[in-house]
Structure 1
Amino acid sequence: MPEINHINLKNAEGLVYCCLRNKLVKLDEEQEQTFCKMCKMYAGPAGGRGVECVWEDMRDVGNPHVVTDPHEEFKMNQMRQVGPNFLSTLIVFG
């Protein structure tokens, strides 16, 4: 699975999707100092317009993946693909 550079641009409310916390966060000084700067996925401030994060993304997205709608990005990251091995396990142990 390739590492994808996610460029998360702040929306009008100053929100971005945070993969580490799996939620929408207000990208302010506290968020950046408390979470972003300490996060292994952190890749920079996106030119002051948001935050860049690099992580393995199972989705079929471009690289870089530019996010302008954090609500949609959150929703899309809640969907998980279920492969045949998982289904087999459910049949055997379910």
Structure 2
Amino acid sequence: MKSIKHINLKDEKGNVYCCLRNKVVCLDEQQIQQFCSGCGMLEGFAGGLGVECVWNDARPVLDPHIADNADEEWLSNQIKHMSPGAHAAAGLSSLPPQT
């Protein structure tokens, strides 16, 4: 996986996707103090528009990756991506069993 810079922009409610907590959170002072300030992924605050974080991302996204919809970003991060070779290594077949 490649380290990708994620720019998570606040929505109209002030929410962003938080990779550390794997949930949509309100980017307020409590979030910043309790979680962001101690997070090794934190890179900055996008000029006050959100939060910038760097983490290894298996998804095929650009670098930097701009997320402007916290709910969609959360959902996208719930899908586990595997390379084609990983299926065979895990003993998984892409074909249904023969009957």
TM-score, normalised relative to structure 2? 0.85
Runs of 4+ in 1 over 6 A off after TM superposition: none
Comparing 38-47 and 77-86, the one that deviates more: 77-86
Larger radius of gyration: 2
Gaps of 5+ in 2: 94-99
Which residue identity is paired with 1:27? L
* SS of match in other structure, 1:76: helix
2:7 alignment partner in structure 1: 7
- Judging by fraction of residues, say which structure has more helix: 1
Offset, 1:37: 1.0
Aligned residues: 89
RMSD: 1.4
Gaps of 5+ in 1: none
Comparing 17-26 and 74-83, the one that deviates more: 74-83
TM-score, normalised relative to structure 1? 0.89
1:70 alignment partner in structure 2: 70
Alignment identity in percent? 51
CA distance in 1, matches of 2:58, 2:92: 21
